[in-house]
Amino acid sequence: MKVAVLMGGWSAEREVSLTSGRGIAQACRSLGHDVTEIDMGRDVAQQLIAAAPDVVFNALHGTPGEDGTVQGVMDLLGLAYTHSGLTTSAIAIDKELTKRVLVPAGVPMPQGKVVASESLFDGDPLPRPYVLKPVNEGSSVGVAIVTDASNYGNPIRRDVPGPWQEFANLLAEPFIAGKELTVAVLGDEALAVTELKPNQGFYDYEAKYTDGMTVHECPAQLPPEIEAACLAHALTAHRALDCRGTSRSDFRWDPAQGLAGLFLLETNTQPGMTPLSLVPEQAKYRGISYEQLVQRLIDMAITDHKAKRQ
């Protein structure tokens, strides 16, 4: 088949997307496909038309590749593409909208609120410790944990580097102590639970994409009821959001609270496909090679596209 691998773009996650895209392109070539690599520009529609692919492998991360924008372009062009569609992408990239879908579906998520960054310089929106994060970014971009011991000041000082300098509004949530867990869903099956153990600090953007900074324990050594709950909640999230192909749900679990201490933080509709990424790692644990994973996502994209046209 003619496969266009869409990657790069101009989001904060550009370099990760390029790494994912190159790996996917190499896998597609090893599978015998005719591959066109596209580093997305503002003329993405023209780039896709020129490539004339049978299917587009969407390896973009962040805006506009993960928020429904590119999905809408590909829908207008009538192209088959991997991962979730326009509506799902637009909802899942927005952490507040995601809660409105998943909490009624029975998925436990931290209570929080969207606050104006300007208000943080007058006082805390929640009791410390709490987390501040952009409403619509992924890969832990712009996350800050505000504690009594943090060097942000009390109240937060305007001149201290943090997401309040980059985003007009932020989501404030209580900090959940404990373990960082994640679950990939492929098709309609939750694959495994991985515990992420950063060597220092928390699982931020640097810890995610720097080799050696985080230990991945797959499968995580968890009580059976916690493992089962993670798998079930990830699958519920995948279905409730109407994800396609693959998704990855991230959790925090406080062992001191048992099952009541488990919370889903977000669901990613465009999980990374780099050598350090979690979806390929969990697929490998389940006996699915990287090349097989890529082919499965392509096959699902074509099947979904045909179903939409009927």
pLDDT of 83: 98
* Cβ-based neighbour number of residue 93 at 10 Å: 26
The predicted-structure confidence for 164-218, as pLDDT tens digits, reads as follows: 999 999 999 999 999 999 999 999 999 999 999 987 555 444 444 445 578 999 9
> What is the CB-side half-sphere exposure of residue 261 using CA atoms within 13 A?
14
**pTM given for the model:** 0.91
Whether the CB-CB separation of 144 and 132 falls below 8 Å is answered with yes
pLDDT of 308: 87
| Domain 113-174 falls under CATH 1.10.760 | no
Q: Return the CATH fold of 92-108+177-287.
A: D-amino Acid Aminotransferase; Chain A, domain 1 (3.30.470)
Q: Which residues of the chain have pLDDT under 70?
A: 138-141, 200-212
- Rounded to the nearest angstrom, the gap between the alpha carbon of residue 139 and the centroid of all alpha carbons in its chain is 6
Domain 2-83+291-309, what architecture? 3-Layer(aba) Sandwich (3.40)
pLDDT of 141: 67
Enter the DSSP assignment of 213: S
pLDDT of 22: 97
Which residues participate in catalysis according to the annotation?
13, 139, 209, 248, 250, 266, 268, 272
Domain ranges of the chain: 2-83+291-309, 92-108+177-287, 113-174
The predicted-structure confidence for 34-52, as pLDDT tens digits, reads as follows: 999 999 999 999 999 999 9
pLDDT of 252: 97
Residue with tokens 């990830």: 234
